[in-house]
Structure 1
Amino acid sequence: MHYFMPLILGFTVASIGITPPGLLNMTAAKLSVRDGRSKALMFALGATFTVLFQTYLAVLFAKFIDRNPEIINLLQEIGLGIFVLLTLYFFTIANKPKKPKEELKMKSKTSRFFLGMLLSALNLFPIPYYVFISVWLSRNGYFFFNQSYISLFVLGAVIGSFLVFYLYILFFKKKEGEKPSFLITNINYIIGSITGLVSIVTLIKLINNNLG
């Protein structure tokens, strides 16, 4: 049971990070509607393959940071700023109507796999996201930087990422043309609330550290 914790944490962190509508999951959904589920799944596999390496590198970097306590407060301050900005983003900019973008046209399943890898690699947000989350979890006693924890955390992140892609593919395949659900309509407010809560917790922790 002890080793289920990093698996669950990785799954949860990845699911929260990738659930908001973005380039990767919306591309997977559009490919499912336009070209079929199997080709969209190849795209999702390619994107998830890149997530594996991004998460592993991020956690290794977080391990290095955790061994150097002098920079942890600085990173917490940076992380606080990032989550405050994300909160503002999800409550304002993300809820503005977006102009439709020109769709990417590709032929084979293999090309979609590499397209998924490429677009995921160009998305640099997961690396600082997993670095900050890993350090934060470690500081609060939920995560340990040993090989088994790291491997299970990365596995959980991979499973969580692919599951979210898969749900996007299934949902948009079945619901194309129908009115979006409450969750999809209000997803930015939900995620904004989560990042806002994390910001408050981080701010309280920084204040306590400075007073201590």
Structure 2
Amino acid sequence: MATKNTPYGTETLPEGIISTKSDFEMRSLSGHEEKNRNKPKNLLAFAVGIKQKENFLSSDFAVILFHYDGILDEWREFEWNQRAIHDLGVDNFNTERYLSIVKEEGLEISQPALSPKSTEWHHQLTLRQQGKRVHRRIDEKVGNMSCENFTHPPCTGFVEMMAPVFSKASWRCAWHMIQNDLVHAWGLDFELGYCVQIDPNT
């Protein structure tokens, strides 16, 4: 039950994971802090094609690029490219089919699988697996870690902060973790499990 100090929807969160105040400095829930980085104070968002590439200079802007031609690799030469946010291709995504699977499987938090051909993946569990419409665990390696007998994210029940889909109840909880000092969401995907009651072994 929510109290004065615990907003409705946050009952499952560990003590200290949310704060009533913020100093507006970015922090990581994973504990990995970026040191001595100039924090951009401006946002630059553009719909771009590869022909506009030569018009961009390194800057002190946070950058969002919407690639209408689907060409991302040729932007990698820029120093700021790794910090930029690039759009997701949704050419093969069927919204109605996805939502029907979410409802049938009772998924509180989920994400569309990424194409195995994608160059922008970080965790193997997020890649589409042939012949499976839902996958909750992986037995292969994630980075240097073997997932064979591991029962925690990112080996099981992992949803990356790339394109998450929330039920109303889980969003009510997750919303309270998305604070002004967590705008980049690093580490937040490892904490989303607190917002759903799941068996990590499934």
TM (norm. structure 1) is 0.25
Q: Name the structure where strand makes up a greater proportion of residues.
A: 2
TM (norm. structure 2) is 0.26
The higher relative CO (CA closer than 8 Å, separation ≥ 6) is in: 1
